Amino acid sequence: MVLFPAAVVPSPATRGTASGKLQLLNYLTSPDIVVWSAVLASCAIPWLFEAAELYIKDSAGEIRPAYADSATYSDGSFGCDLPIERMKQLFDVGLFIVSQVNPVGYTDIKLRKHVACTHDPLAKLLLFMQAQATCYLQSLWATGWLQWIPALSILVPMCIQENEGDITLLAPVTFSDLTKLLSTMEAHQLNAMRDRGERAVGKGSTLIPFGVR
């Protein structure tokens, strides 16, 4: 079974009129949503791409806007990159295998793995400071004050969300890779990244038997 979950949130321009907050779009929660419109909204990174409107196909086969108020939606993974609880409810999932490519999540997980493997005192200090900062931001976020500041309403959830699954796959990433995040890469660059990803999957797949016992 192939699942296509797309997480979207109302854009700042329509946040006051659009119903709900984050929406997880898939064949169970929104079976009438047109896939290409969900893809556009899920790829609409705030500040980089324009928010997109969601479309549905009605019983007559006509494609029309999903909401009469023309609400627009953007990428919701900044605040909920891994909608673990929602996926558990929908599909009764017991084991999450995550391929993490979010730069913030990647850095956090690499630091945790480094501490676990080397017991580096400096890395432990950085991890402690990060945990304290996260706890402080979570408390501030719970007050609701930060949600009215557009930049913080995106950055804070990205920093305090959960980034790991039961098994988390990480492909090697270099600083040069990060500089190409918003560029159109050549075919050989994409192939090189794909090969690194495949090797990471091969390495991580050995952990699956231990996770399902």
108 and 180 both lie in a single domain: yes
106 and 182 both lie in a single domain: yes
Mean pLDDT of 34-54: 85
Q: Which is it for strands 97-99 and 167-169: parallel, antiparallel or unpaired?
A: parallel
CA neighbor of 85 nearest in space, from 42, 24, 41: 24
Is 39:69 a contact under the CB 8 Å cutoff?
A: no
71 and 103 both lie in a single domain: no
What range does the domain containing 52 cover? 6-76
Domain annotation covers residue 126: yes
3-state secondary structure string across 128-170: HHHHHHHHHHHHHHHHCCHHHCHHHHHHHHHHHCCCCCCEEEC
Confidence grade of residue 93 (pLDDT, cut at 50, 70, 90)? confident
* Kind and range of the H or E run holding 52: strand 52-53
Least confident of 18-27, 90-99, 120-129: 18-27
What dihedral angle (degrees, nearest 10) is formed by the CA atoms of 146, 147, 151, 152? 40
Q: Which residue has the higher pLDDT, 20 or 170?
A: 170
Mean pLDDT of 37-64: 86
pLDDT over 80 (residue 53): yes
15 and 115 both lie in a single domain: no
Domain annotation covers residue 15: yes
pLDDT recorded at residue 211 = 67
137 and 189 both lie in a single domain: yes
User: pLDDT of 196-212, one tens digit each?
Assistant: 888 888 887 887 777 66
pLDDT recorded at residue 63 = 93
69 and 110 both lie in a single domain: no
Domain annotation covers residue 55: yes
Mean pLDDT of 120-125: 84
pLDDT over 50 (residue 213): yes
145 and 43 both lie in a single domain: no
115 and 153 both lie in a single domain: yes
pLDDT recorded at residue 12 = 56
- Domain count for the chain, please give it: 2
Structure tokens at 129: 């400071």
33 and 102 both lie in a single domain: no
Domain annotation covers residue 82: no
17 and 118 both lie in a single domain: no
Q: Which residue has the higher pLDDT, 125 or 150?
A: 125
pLDDT over 70 (residue 18): no
Structure tokens at 204: 């991580």
107 and 191 both lie in a single domain: yes
pLDDT over 80 (residue 159): no
User: pLDDT of 28-37, one tens digit each?
Assistant: 888 888 989 8
* Average pLDDT of the residues of the chain: 79
14 and 114 both lie in a single domain: no
